[in-house]
């Protein structure tokens, strides 16, 4: 072993990349799970094209999956990858800019022929030089032919054999990083339980990949990444969309209500609909509607009938739901609207992440139409914020918009599994006394009305989208309309008593306060921590509650000389803060590339502000 | 349980009914209230949902649970109500603009899913609430405020959309015939699945007399064919006209002429799965043919809300996960112990 190169690292980012049909998402997921089981903290980032099968071999058709894992807390999938697995030349071209200088590139040399180089628009025969990757450690592995060799005795057709290429790559990477393969084997056996030949052949290729690495170790570096020191407990991997779905299941169980989801498939939110459709065992009713409008309309109907009602969508869908959200505002029904944000406007970048729907969530409706707006900040805390959104909606009789994004929805991380008993109670405002019931009679403290649902004898009443008086009867009285508009706004403001105070990570006072909201937490906290290690006077205030804001925001902001609001849009949260807290000056760092922040660019912008 | 004895009054809310004097809506409201009073269903189990338009003010006048929603969406909102609680008797009140234009998509998908909802479409072939623009059921060439030189488009025939959406129940009535409306509404409640009832309704202000050729008392016996399941399709002031099916078409014949006897006349079968004849009946129009009223189609089929609940029950019979705690701990999990090392759970 003396010739073997061993690189010991605290954290490693690895990117699997190939054609969108090459199985890179699965390979990446399996490797991530194996790493999490090994005891590393992880963070993942699938990066795939919106076409299911874009032309084979082209840069547009490249599908990537990046995972960072390490021996300490991992908050991001990593700015740049240390290791790239490239299944074709297009993958090299698409990922060159995401590589850590001096990193390792393992590529399937069988695919680096004239035809594929041309498809990837390379003009020379040396793609690595063309992409300025000369200084990288490049390992040519004839993955295609080795896979064929590995399976020659299985009697499989060529197409089936080639489908196992990704397992060869996975085996090789497992060897490089010292990952045990039991988990992957277990997965393959379960998935292909009914097709033993497929299971057997995949496992064979996996092992051959592993053994290839071992045999060729004099030319392949191995990486040693020790387990992370994380809080004890039972863990699982979870992505943001699953966490969101499960948060609603938890809220339904806790509140004693049936869960209803009305939704129309839209990237990247569809997985929430799929995850809840699987849960008939827990009695969930999922209604795949004919369009976005019917998605929310059916949910409003279910809410009227007494369910915990949810609708899920992404940006363009939220636009279509606007009028119906207004109905829920006017009727004062509990409803949660999830927006898994993506790049916009219009169809925009459906598979890419962005935070540009904040203003739409806050204001994108006709009339004075206030709703509660909250945002999740990591894949796993989508569970908590889905739960909280439901709690607020049910206890305050108000629509709540929960903002997540494509990065959170598809990204995953290990999650310490909570117990239902630990979660706070949810008490829906069910009406109790038919004699005194009035549809819009309000609780003095919260201004929430009571909920009486069809089937409750003696509570028959009418509600609707027209302005009304206390009984729900239509009213065009000018005074009444003004009072009601103010009440609906005030009702949302009073949710502030359910909002925890804003916390600062770092010092409570100092030079620069970095402000962020939603899905950028991981990158911002890393940037701030790294700057603090360099002795910089920087802290982070990250928002999950947008409307209403926590009550101590002005106190927090007032303790810093400079504030910089970092967000994946042109400055929507900054504008909102300027409107609500005009006494502070807000610097901005904005990015609109369909990609998450990377830690270095955030650090640079903060450093620049420190030096100004 | 004590027998429920309601009167029409029990279904009238205290809200003042604010349709124009002479509006056809009054009679329909009355027929619905009479129907509900006689069904033996507890009043709190009725949910009446509407969209936007003159007809959509309907829920405010009903002493039931009611929801006056937004334009075109009543069918989708009612779908959620019924799916959430299939024990409710859910009614949608809509108009030709609300259901055929802005709500067209929800209308056809409600019918396709066959959710057990009673939908009444008030068809006056005009936008009344916005004061007289042409609607999707306005006949070609008609002048309105927004078609001062006549429309250049053909109308929808609601029944055709129902058949095209694989509808299981379609009936037609006229506003003035409360007895017919009431009997149809009763049938529509009995039907399991989406029941669409088109009521030819007169807008006294913006389209007065639009159905007069059909409803005119002097001629209606000759111009209306009131269908009854199992009965021959006979009509006319002298009860001697009937329908036969000849060379792929319906044709009016006179009993007693050209050796036609009552036995030659078609017998109405609302339960026939093949919609061919139902479609032909829906398509009949003046002056050559009478207009078909009554229950034209009523066939059994899978019902969405029933199937949705049945599927849940079926899955739950074999379920391994019975609560959220079990779900959260299902699949691949691992324990992290004091020193931070992981051990896979199996």
Contacts A–B by Cβ distance under 8 A:
225
Q: Residue ranges of the alpha helices (H) in A5-85?
A: 24-38
Same domain, A286 and A400: yes
Domain B8-210 has CATH 3.40.50.970: yes
pLDDT at position A136 is 83
What is the mean predicted confidence (pLDDT) over B236-253? 96
Q: How far does A461 lie from chain B, in Å, by closest CA?
A: 5
Question: What local confidence, expressed as pLDDT, does residue A527 receive?
Answer: 94
Chain A positions touching B311 (Cβ under 8 A) are 280
Of A293, A462, A463, nearest to B73 by CB-CB distance is A293
- Residue A491 domain-assigned (yes or no): no
Largest CA distance in chain B: 102
Is the same domain home to A141 and A258?
Answer: no
Mean pLDDT for chain B overall: 95
Q: Is the domain of A241 the same as that of A384?
A: yes
Nearest CB to B84 within list A301, A460, A465: A301
**Would an 8 Å CB–CB cutoff place A456 in contact with chain B?**
yes
Same-domain check for residues A193 and A251: no
CA distance A341 to chain B (A): 25
| Nearest CB to B83; choose among A39, A302, A324 | A302
Q: What is the pLDDT, as a whole number, of residue B161?
A: 98
Domain spans of chain B? 8-210
CB crowding A370-384: b at 16 or more within 10 Å, else e: bbbbbbbbbbbbbbb
Percent of chain B with pLDDT over 70: 97
Residue B73 in contact with partner chain A when CB distance is under 8 A = yes
pLDDT given at position A53: 66
Contact state of B327 with A33 under an 8 Å Cβ cutoff: no
Burial of B21 (0-12, 13-18, 19+ CB in 10 A): exposed
Task: Kindly state whether residues A206 and A60 are assigned to the same domain.
Answer: yes
Tell which of A422, A452, A477 closes a domain: A422
Q: Look at the block and give the residue holding tokens 């000018």.
A: A478
Joined together, the tokens standing for residue A300 give 């409003």
List the alpha helices (DSSP H) in A107-239: 114-119, 127-130, 143-150, 158-162, 165-176, 182-191, 196-215
Min mean pLDDT across A33-37, A482-486, B73-77, B116-120 is at A33-37
Supply the CATH number for residue A523's domain: 3.40.50.920
Flag whether residue A420 sits within 8 Å of chain B, measured between CB atoms. yes
ipTM of this predicted structure: 0.97
HSE of A140, CA atoms in CB hemisphere, 13 A: 10
Q: What tokens appear for A523 in the block?
A: 């990158």
Q: Which residue numbers in chain A have pLDDT < 50?
A: 1-4
For residue B341, give the nearest of A39, A250, A461 by CB distance: A39
Q: Do A272 and A157 share a domain, yes or no?
A: no
Any alpha helices (H) in chain B, and if so which ranges? 25-37, 74-84, 96-97, 104-113, 158-164, 178-190, 212-215, 220-223, 276-283, 304-317, 324-328
CB contact under 8 A, A232 and B319: no
The minimal CB distance from A300 to the residues B43, B64, B80 is found for B80
- Does the distance separating the beta carbons of B67 and A331 come in below 8 Å? yes
Q: What are the E-state strand segments in A246-320?
A: 259-263, 285-288, 308-313
Is residue A394 included in any domain, yes or no? Answer: yes
Residues A459, A174: Cα–Cα separation, whole Å:
64
Domain around A132: 6-224
Tally of residues, chain B: 346
Note whether A250 and A392 are same-domain residues: yes
What is the per-residue pLDDT for B338?
62
Contacts of A458 in chain B (CB under 8 A): 44
Lowest-confidence region among A67-76, A473-482, B69-78, B210-219 = A67-76
Q: Count how many domains chain A has.
A: 3
Q: Is A394 on the interface with B (CB under 8 A)?
A: no
Distance (Å) from the C-alpha of residue B25 to the closest C-alpha of chain A? 19
Helix (H, G, I), strand (E, B) or coil at A89: helix
Evaluate whether A203 touches A381 at the Cβ level (below 8 Å).
no
Contacts of A323 in chain B (CB under 8 A): 70
Task: State the pLDDT at residue A2.
Answer: 35
Nearest-CB residue to B333 (from A235, A280, A281): A235
pLDDT of B117 reads: 98
pLDDT tier at B182, thresholds 50, 70, 90: very high
A245 touches chain B (CB under 8 A): no
Task: Name the domain boundary from A360, A395, A422.
Answer: A422
The alpha-carbon gap from B9 to the nearest alpha carbon of chain A, in Å, equals: 14
B81 in contact with A, Cβ within 8 Å: yes
Q: Give yes or no for residue B284 having a pLDDT over 50.
A: yes
What residues in A contact B109, CB-CB < 8 Å? 289-290, 294
- Do the domain assignments include residue A303? yes
**Residue A182 or residue B280, greater confidence:** B280
In a domain, A555, yes or no: yes
- Residues A168, A299 share a domain: no
Q: Which residues of A touch B55 (CB under 8 A)?
A: none
Q: Which of A263, A464, A471, A473 to mutate to test the interface with B (most CBs of B within 10 A)?
A: A464
The average pLDDT across B14-43 equals 95
A196 interfacial to chain B (CB closer than 8 Å): no
In B46-65, the residues whose Cβ lies within 8 Å of chain A are: 46-47, 49, 52, 59-60, 62-65
Nearest Cα residue to B71 out of B114, B104, B29: B104
For residue A453, is it within any domain?
A: no
Which among A182, A324, A455 is the nearest to B45, CB-wise? A455
- The residues, ordered by sequence, that sit 6+ positions from B222 with a Cβ below 8 Å of its Cβ are B235, B236, B237, B241, B290
From B62, B77, B335, residue closest to A301, measured CB to CB: B77
Q: Which of residues 103-142 of B touch A (CB under 8 A)?
A: 105-106, 109
Give chain B positions within 8 Å (CB) of A420: 323-325
> From the candidates A73, A234, A334, A454, which should be mutated to test the interface with B, based on the most B CB atoms within 10 A?
A454
Please tell me whether residues A255 and A397 are part of one structural domain: yes
Same domain, residue pair A549 and A410: no
CB contact under 8 Å between B70 and A234, yes or no, is: no
The CATH number of the domain where A400 resides is what? 3.40.50.970
| Cross-chain Cβ contact A262/B80 below 8 Å | yes
Rounded average pLDDT over B205-211:
95
Residue in A251, A298, A415 to test binding to B, most B beta-carbons within 10 Å: A298
Enter the tokens of residue A507.
């010092």
Contact A463 B68 (CB under 8 A): yes
The pLDDT, as a whole number, for residue A223 is 75
Question: Are A214 and A316 in the same domain?
Answer: no
Which chain B residues are within 8 Å of A249, Cβ to Cβ? 324, 327
**Which pLDDT does position A217 carry in this prediction?**
66
The β-bridge relationship of strands B169-174 and B195-200 is parallel
Name the residue in chain A with its Cα closest to that of B304. A287
Mean pLDDT over B15-38 rounds to 95
pLDDT band at B332 (very low <50, low <70, confident <90, very high): confident
Does residue A435 form part of some domain?
no
Task: Count CA within 13 A, CB hemisphere, residue A599.
Answer: 18
Q: Is A346 strand, coil or helix? A: coil
Q: Tell if the CB–CB gap between B325 and A306 is shorter than 8 Å.
A: no
What is the pLDDT at residue B83? 98
Average pLDDT over residues B227-242: 97
Residue A135 and residue A44 in one domain: yes
Which of B90, B103, B324 to mutate against chain A (most A CBs within 10 Å)?
B324
Separation of alpha carbons A179 and A171, rounded Å:
9
Q: Which residues pair with B144 in a beta bridge?
A: B147
Contact B342 A235 (CB under 8 A): yes
What's the pTM value of the predicted model, to 2 decimals?
0.90
For chain B, say whether A262 makes contact (Cβ under 8 Å): yes
Is A351 a member of any domain?
Answer: yes
Is residue A11 assigned to a domain? yes
- Per residue in A357-411, pLDDT (tens digit) is 999 999 999 999 999 999 999 999 999 999 999 999 999 999 999 999 999 999 9
């Amino acid at each position: 072993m003396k010739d073997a190169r061993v690189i010991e690292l605290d954290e490693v980012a690895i990117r699997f990349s190939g054609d969108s049909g090459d199985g890179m998402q699965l390979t990446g997921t399996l490797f991530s799970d194996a790493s999490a089981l090994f005891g590393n903290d992880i963070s993942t980032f699938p990066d795939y094209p919106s076409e299911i099968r874009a032309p084979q071999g082209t840069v547009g058709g490249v599908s990537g999956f990046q995972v960072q894992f390490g021996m300490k807390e991992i908050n991001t999938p990593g700015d740049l990858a240390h290791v790239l697995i490239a299944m074709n030349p297009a993958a090299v071209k698409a990922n060159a800019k995401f590589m850590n200088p001096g990193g390792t590139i393992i590529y399937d040399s069988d695919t680096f022929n004239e035809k594929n180089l041309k498809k990837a628009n390379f003009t020379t025969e040396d793609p690595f030089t063309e992409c300025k990757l000369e200084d990288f450690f490049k390992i040519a592995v004839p993955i295609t032919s080795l896979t064929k060799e590995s399976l020659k005795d299985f009697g499989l057709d060529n197409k089936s054999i080639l489908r196992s290429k990704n397992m060869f790559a996975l085996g090789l990477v497992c060897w490089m990083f010292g990952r045990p393969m039991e988990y992957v084997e277990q997965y393959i056996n379960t998935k292909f339980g009914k097709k033993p030949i497929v299971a057997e052949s995949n496992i064979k290729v996996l092992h051959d990949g592993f053994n290839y690495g071992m045999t060729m170790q004099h030319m392949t570096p191995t990486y040693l990444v020790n387990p992370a020191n994380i809080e004890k407990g039972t863990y699982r991997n979870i992505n943001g969309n699953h966490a969101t779905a499960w948060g609603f299941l938890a809220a339904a169980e806790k509140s004693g209500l049936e869960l209803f989801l009305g939704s129309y498939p839209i990237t990247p939110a569809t997985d929430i609909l799929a995850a809840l459709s699987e849960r008939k065992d827990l009695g969930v009713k999922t209604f795949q509607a004919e369009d976005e409008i019917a998605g929310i309309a059916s949910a409003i109907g279910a809410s009227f009938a007494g369910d915990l009602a949810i609708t899920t969508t992404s940006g363009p869908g939220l636009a279509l739901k606007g009028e119906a959200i207004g109905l829920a505002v006017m009727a004062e029904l509990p409803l949660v609207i999830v927006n898994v944000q993506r790049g916009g406007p219009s169809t925009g970048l459906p598979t890419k992440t962005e935070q540009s729907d904040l203003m739409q969530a806050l204001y994108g409706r006709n009339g004075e139409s206030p709703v509660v707006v909250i945002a999740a900040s990591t894949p796993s805390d989508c569970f908590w914020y889905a739960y909280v959104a439901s709690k607020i909606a049910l206890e305050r009789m108000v629509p709540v918009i929960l903002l997540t994004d494509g990065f959170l929805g598809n990204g995953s991380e290990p999650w310490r599994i909570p117990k239902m008993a630990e979660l706070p109670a949810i008490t829906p405002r069910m009406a109790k006394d038919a004699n005194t019931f009035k549809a819009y009679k309000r609780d003095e403290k919260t201004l929430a009305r009571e909920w009486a649902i069809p089937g409750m004898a003696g509570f028959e009443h009418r509600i609707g989208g027209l302005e009304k008086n206390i009984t729900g009867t239509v009213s065009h009285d000018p005074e009444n309309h003004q009072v009601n508009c103010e009440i609906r706004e005030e009702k949302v403001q009073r949710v502030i008593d359910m909002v925890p105070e804003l916390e600062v990570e770092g010092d409570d006072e100092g030079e620069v306060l970095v402000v962020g909201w939603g899905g950028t937490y991981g990158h911002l906290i890393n940037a701030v921590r790294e700057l603090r290690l360099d002795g910089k006077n920087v802290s982070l205030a990250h928002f999950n509650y947008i409307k209403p804001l926590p009550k101590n925001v002005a106190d927090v902001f007032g303790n810093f000389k400079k504030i910089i609001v970092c967000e994946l849009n042109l400055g929507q949260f900054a504008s909102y803060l300027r409107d609500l807290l005009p006494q502070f000056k807000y610097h901005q760092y904005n990015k609109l590339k369909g990609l998450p922040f990377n830690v270095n660019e955030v650090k640079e912008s903060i450093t620049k502000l420190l030096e100004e | 349980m004590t027998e429920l004895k309601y009167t029409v009054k029990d279904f009238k809310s205290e809200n003042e009914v604010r349709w124009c004097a002479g509006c056809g809506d009054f009679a329909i409201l009355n027929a619905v209230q009479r129907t509900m009073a006689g069904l033996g269903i507890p009043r709190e189990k009725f949910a009446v949902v509407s969209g936007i338009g003159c007809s959509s003010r309907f829920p405010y006048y009903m002493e039931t649970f009611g929801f006056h929603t937004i334009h075109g969406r009543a069918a989708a909102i009612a779908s959620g109500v019924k799916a959430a609680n299939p024990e409710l008797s859910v009614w949608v009140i809509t108009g030709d603009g609300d259901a055929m234009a802005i709500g067209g998509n929800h209308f056809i998908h409600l019918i396709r899913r066959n959710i057990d909802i009673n939908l009444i479409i008030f068809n006056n072939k005009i936008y009344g609430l916005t004061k007289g623009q042409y609607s999707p059921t306005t006949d070609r060439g008609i002048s309105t405020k927004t078609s001062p030189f006549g429309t250049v488009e053909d109308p929808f025939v609601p029944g055709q959309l129902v058949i095209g959406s694989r509808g299981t129940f379609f009936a037609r009535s006229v506003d003035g015939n409360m007895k017919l409306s009431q009997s149809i509404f009763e049938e529509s409640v009995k039907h399991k699945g989406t029941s669409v009832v088109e009521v030819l309704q007169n807008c006294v202000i913006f389209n007065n007399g639009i159905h007069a050729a059909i409803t005119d008392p002097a001629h209606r016996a000759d111009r209306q064919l009131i269908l009854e399941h199992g009965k021959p399709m006979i009509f006319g002031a002298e009860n001697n006209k009937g329908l036969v099916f000849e060379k792929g078409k319906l044709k009016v014949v006179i009993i007693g002429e050209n050796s036609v006897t009552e036995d030659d006349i078609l017998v109405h079968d609302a339960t026939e799965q093949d919609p061919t004849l139902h479609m032909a009946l829906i398509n009949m129009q003046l002056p050559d043919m009478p207009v078909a009223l009554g229950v034209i189609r009523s066939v059994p089929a899978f019902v969405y809300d029933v199937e949705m609940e049945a599927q849940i029950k079926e899955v739950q019979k074999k379920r391994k996960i019975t609560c959220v705690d079990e779900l959260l701990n299902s699949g691949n999990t691992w324990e992290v112990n004091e020193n931070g090392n992981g051990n896979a759970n199996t």
